[in-house]
Chains A and B, each alone.
Chain A
Amino acid sequence: MPHDKLNLSSTRETKSKVLRRASIIGFFAVGLVATLLLALAQGSVTMSFSEVWQALWHQGPSLNQTILWELRLPRIAAALLVGAALGMSGALLQGMLRNGLADPFILGISAGAGLVAIALITLNVFLAWLPLAAWVGAVLTAALVYFLGHSSTGIAVERLVLGGVAVSSLFGAIQTTLLLLSDDGRIQAALNWLIGSLNGRGWAEVTTAGPYIGVALILGCLLSRVINVLNLGDDLAVSLGISLSRSRFLIGGVATLLAASAVSIGGLIGFVGLVVPHGVRLVVGNDYRWIVPLSAVGGAWVLTLADLLARVGAIELPVGVVTALLGSPLFIWLLYRRATPFQGA
C-alpha cells in the first residue's frame, strides 16, 4: 500500500523533528537555569550554592537571606521579565514588518518613553511616577505612529516604519534639547535611564509590570501562527483569510505592550530585541511558532546573563552598556553568517 508507506515515512520524519525541537528546548532550558543559579550565587557578596539553598528557605545568616530575597531575586525576576518582553517584542515586529532590522523600539516606543522620562528627570518632577509615565509615553507614541501608518487601504508596513522614524527623530531632538538645558547631576540620572539599567529594581516594579508582560507573552505566542502567513506577502495572506489590518493591529499592540512594560522597568535596554530573534532564527529556522516563544526565553536568558556581567565587575555598569557591547559584535557575526548560503532548517 503506497499510502501506508507514505504515512510511515512522514511519522518517522515527524519523530525526528520532535526530537530536534525537544533538544532545542532542552538547550535553552539548561542554559537559562545554569545562568539563574550563577546569578543567584554571584555578586558583590559571593555565596556558595548551599548558602543560596539555605537562604531560599529562609535559613542561615540573615544577611544572606536579605541579599537573596530583597536584592538578587527581584533583580533577576526583573531581568527575566524585561528580557522576555524585549525578545518577544523584537521577534513579533521583525516578523510583522518583514524586516530583520526591526526591533522593539522601531515604532517610536523608545522615543516616546525617553522623552517623557527625560522630561521628568530634567525637570525633577513626579519622579516616583517615572515607570508609569514612561509606559504611557511609549504607548501613546506607538499609537501616534500607527495613526500615521494607517491609510484608506489599511496599515501599510512601509508607512509604519517611516512614521516610526519620523516621530523618533522629532522626539529625539526635543529630548536632546532638554538634556542640554539641564544641570550635570540630572544628566547623569537621565543617561543612566537612557542606556537602561536594572540596578536597585525591587519587587514593586516586578509585581506592577509582571502581570501585563505575562498576559502579553501568551497573546504573542497565539499570534505567531499568523506571522507565518503574513510572511507570504499581503496578497496571499488575504487569500488565506487573514485580515491584514486586524492582525497588524494586534501584533503591533502586543509588541508595544511588551516593549513599553519592559521600558518602564529597565529603561531603554538596547540590542536584546534586535539580536535575540536573529540568534533564535539561526537555531530553529523560520517558523514563527517557534521563533516567538523561544525569543522570549532567549531574551530572558541573555538579559539575566548581561545583568550578571554588569554587576560582578569592580564598578557596576548599566546593563544596557553590556548588551550593546556584547550585542554589536554578535550582530556583525550573525550578518556575516547570513551571507553564507542557507542550509535549511
Chain B
Amino acid sequence: MLELDQISGGYGQGLTIPDLDLTLHSGEWLSLLGANGSGKSTLLKLVSRMLPIRSGGVRLDGKLIHHQSTQKVAQQMAVLPQQQTLPAGLTVHQLVCLGRTPYQPWWQWDLTPTDRHKVTLSLIQTGMLSFRDRPIEQLSGGERQRAFLALALAQDPKVLLLDEPTTYLDLRHQLELLDLLKVLHQDHGLTIITVLHDLNLATRYSDRLALLYQGQLQSLGTPQQVLTTANLAQVFGINASIIDTPVGLQICALSANAHPQNTPSDLNHARG
C-alpha cells in the first residue's frame, strides 16, 4: 500500500531522517512513536510531501508519489496536520467542501452533486452535520478536530496521516476521536498512520507500532513485540513496567533514566 524506500530528509540542510525503510499494509493502523526530536513528525511530513525528500522514494500503490501530480496523490492520501490555520468566519460546511479540491479541475467553480454527497457523508461520519453552519473558530477543540477530520474524509482517501491529533484534547475527547478513527479503520478499511505522544493510546488503537530513535527505526511490530522494557529504556529513557489490562498492554512509567542522549558534548553544545 505505502512503501517508504530508503528515504532521507529533514529541515534545512540537516537530515533528521538519514535513511529509513518502512512498508505499510493496506487497511493497517500504524503509530509512529518516539521521544521529542526522534524524527517522527518529520517522517510524517516527508511522506505527506510537506518536506522535500532528499533521497529515496515513497510509493503509494506501487507508484512514486513525487512523480505523480500532487492532485492525484491528494485523491488517495489525506493529512490532518498538528496545527491548523483557522480562516476567520469559515463555516464547517465551507471547510469540508474544500476537501473536494483534489477532484476539481481548474475551471470548476462549484461542487458537483457527487461532491455534495461526499461532503454530507463525511459530515455524518464525523457527527458534524448539526454543526455545518457554525464558524470553526467558535468550535471546541474536539469539535474542531472532527471538522478537520471531515475535511480529510471528504478527500475520499485510502490513506490518512494524522500528526498528533489528540494533543490539545482532554481525555474523553481523545478517546472519542480515536474511537471514531477506529470505526473508519474497521468499517471502511482506511489505512491510518498516526504520530502519537501517548504510548498507551497508541498501544490501544494501533495494529503496529514503529519506534523511532534519532531518526532510525528502532523497532517495528505489534505492541506485544515492540513494547519491551529494553526498548522503552533505550528510546524514551524511562523505567517502565508493562501491564496487561482490559484494554490490552499498557505502560506505567516508573522513573526517568539518566538521559542517554545528554552526553557531555551535547551539554557543551547547549551552553554554546
A-side residues, CB < 8 A to B, are: 6, 10, 13, 98, 152-153, 222, 225, 228-229, 231-236, 238-243, 285-287, 289, 342, 344-345
Q: Does A287 lie within 8 Å of B94, measured CB to CB? A: yes
Residue in chain A with minimal CB distance to B116: A10
B135 proximity list for chain A (CB < 8 A): 342, 344
Q: Does A239 lie within 8 Å of B74, measured CB to CB? A: yes
Taking a contact as CB atoms closer than 8 A, the residue among A98, A153, A241 that contacts B52 in the complex is: A153
A229 proximity list for chain B (CB < 8 A): 98, 101
Bound CA span A234–B48, Å: 12
Q: Does A345 lie within 8 Å of B91, measured CB to CB? A: yes
Q: Does A238 lie within 8 Å of B48, measured CB to CB? A: yes
A152 proximity list for chain B (CB < 8 A): 52
Q: Does B120 lie within 8 Å of A6, measured CB to CB? A: yes
B81 proximity list for chain A (CB < 8 A): 233, 235-236, 239
Please list 30 pairs of residues, one from A and one from B, whose beta carbons are closer than 8 Å in the complex, sorted by A's number.
A10-B116, A98-B85, A152-B52, A225-B101, A231-B87, A232-B84, A232-B87, A233-B84, A233-B85, A234-B50, A235-B48, A235-B79, A236-B85, A238-B48, A238-B50, A238-B79, A239-B48, A239-B49, A239-B78, A239-B79, A240-B74, A240-B101, A241-B69, A241-B71, A241-B101, A342-B88, A344-B91, A344-B135, A345-B89, A345-B91
Given contacts A225-B101, A235-B79, A239-B74, 6 further A-B contacts (CB under 8 A): A153-B52, A239-B79, A240-B74, A241-B102, A242-B101, A344-B89
B108 proximity list for chain A (CB < 8 A): 225
Q: Does A236 lie within 8 Å of B106, measured CB to CB? A: no
Q: Does B84 lie within 8 Å of A242, measured CB to CB? A: no
Q: Does B98 lie within 8 Å of A228, measured CB to CB? A: yes
Known: A232-B84, A235-B81, A345-B91. A289 touches B109 (CB 8 A): yes
B116 proximity list for chain A (CB < 8 A): 10
Does any Cβ of A come within 8 Å of B36's Cβ?
A: no
Bound CA span A13–B70, Å: 34
A222 proximity list for chain B (CB < 8 A): 106-107
Bound CA span A232–B94, Å: 11
Q: Which of A153, A238, A287 has the most CB of B within 10 A?
A: A238
Bound CA span A71–B187, Å: 71
B151 proximity list for chain A (CB < 8 A): 236
A285 proximity list for chain B (CB < 8 A): 89
Known: A235-B50, A238-B50, A344-B135. A243 touches B85 (CB 8 A): no
Taking a contact as CB atoms closer than 8 A, the residue among A13, A236, A242 that contacts B79 in the complex is: A236
Which residues of chain B (118-145) have a CB below 8 Å from chain A? 120, 129, 133, 135, 137
Bound CA span A242–B78, Å: 12
Bound CA span A153–B98, Å: 24
Residue in chain A with minimal CB distance to B87: A231
Quote the shortest CB–CB distance from A260 to chain B (angstroms). 24
Interface membership of chain B positions 128-172, coded 1 if the CB is closer than 8 angstroms to chain A and 0 otherwise: 010001010100000000000001100100000000000000000
Quote the shortest CB–CB distance from A344 to chain B (angstroms). 6
Quote the shortest CB–CB distance from A162 to chain B (angstroms). 18
